[in-house]
């Protein structure tokens, strides 16, 4: 690996080329994906809150 900026420049140029090949989601798709992710995170948070409460109750009961 070179210490100069040429390797960095080549790397950034290749990154730019690859980013142009990416199929980015359209607005409607992005909105749907965002809603799915937020909903999943909320359900997982609620699930772990319930599990944590059950475990805490069980340990306090002992």
Q: pLDDT by residue (tens digit) across 25-51?
A: 999 999 999 999 999 999 999 999 999
Q: How far apart are CA 53 and CA 47, in angstroms?
A: 10
State the pLDDT confidence band at 8, using cuts at 50, 70 and 90.
confident
pTM to 2 decimal places? 0.64
Residue 3 pLDDT more than 80?
A: no
């Amino acid at each position: 690996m070179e210490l100069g900026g040429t390797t960095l420049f080549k790397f950034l140029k290749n990154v730019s080329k690859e980013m142009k090949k990416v199929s980015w989601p359209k607005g409607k798709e992005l909105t749907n994906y965002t809603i799915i992710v937020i909903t999943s995170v909320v359900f997982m948070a609620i699930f772990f809150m319930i599990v944590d409460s059950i475990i805490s109750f069980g340990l306090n009961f002992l």
